Amino acid sequence: MDYRIEVMKTGDWPQVAAIYQEGIETGLATFQSEVPSWEDWDRGHVACCRLVARKRDEVLGWAALSAVSSRLVYAGIGEVSVYVGAAYKKMGVGTALLNELIRQSEANGFWMLQGVITKENTASIELHKKCGFRLVGIRERIGRMPDGVWHDTALLERRSRTIGL
């Protein structure tokens, strides 16, 4: 498939939000029950390292980082979000996005990335492992979906081999 990984633009938000909604509907991708407004999403993610996979004018997937904490001691640690449109899964889009996110995160001084993934979301866990993340552990009954069902999450991390050594 012919697509490019590019910096996310504000104008991409409607397509990014639609892919986010698909993730919400799976019941596995996030504990969010609805897509936030652009303004809320923008405030919750670091300004660098916002990517889309694009084929012509269509966004196939997206990836971004959010800070794990506002405390200075945790500067350089980002939490990963990677979402791929349902029609483009198993085509390498997630791998391309995550690998470029890793590259850009290191270029912007991030020395560790973490993924917090529902234990049932095995495809996302395997994607992260494929891109150099390791399983740190399983946190039991850590998040509750809007329907009241508790879920375990897998905590994965990837430490840079070039930043923060």
| 128: confidence class by pLDDT, cuts 50, 70, 90 | very high
CA distance 11 to 50: 13
What was the pLDDT predicted at 119?
94
State mean pLDDT over 81-89.
96
Q: What are the residues facing 11 on neighbouring strands?
A: none
Is the pLDDT assigned to residue 1 strictly greater than 80?
no
Helices assigned H by DSSP within 49-137: 93-107, 122-130
What was the pLDDT predicted at 165?
62
Q: Which residues contact 25 (CB under 8 A, 6 or more apart)?
A: none
What was the pLDDT predicted at 72?
85
State mean pLDDT over 100-125.
96
CA distance 9 to 81: 16
Angle between helices 122-130 and 93-107 (to 10 degrees): 50
Tens digits of per-residue pLDDT, 16-33?
999 999 999 888 888 888
**Buried residues in 10-20 as b, exposed as e (16+ CB within 10 A):** eebbebbbebb
Share of the chain above pLDDT 90, in %: 83
| 118: confidence class by pLDDT, cuts 50, 70, 90 | very high
Is the pLDDT assigned to residue 146 strictly greater than 80?
no
Of 20, 108, 97, residue with least CA distance to 51: 97
User: Hey, what CATH class is 4-159 in?
Assistant: alpha beta
CA distance 158 to 133: 4
Is the pLDDT assigned to residue 148 strictly greater than 90?
no
Of residues 98 and 74, more confidently modeled: 98
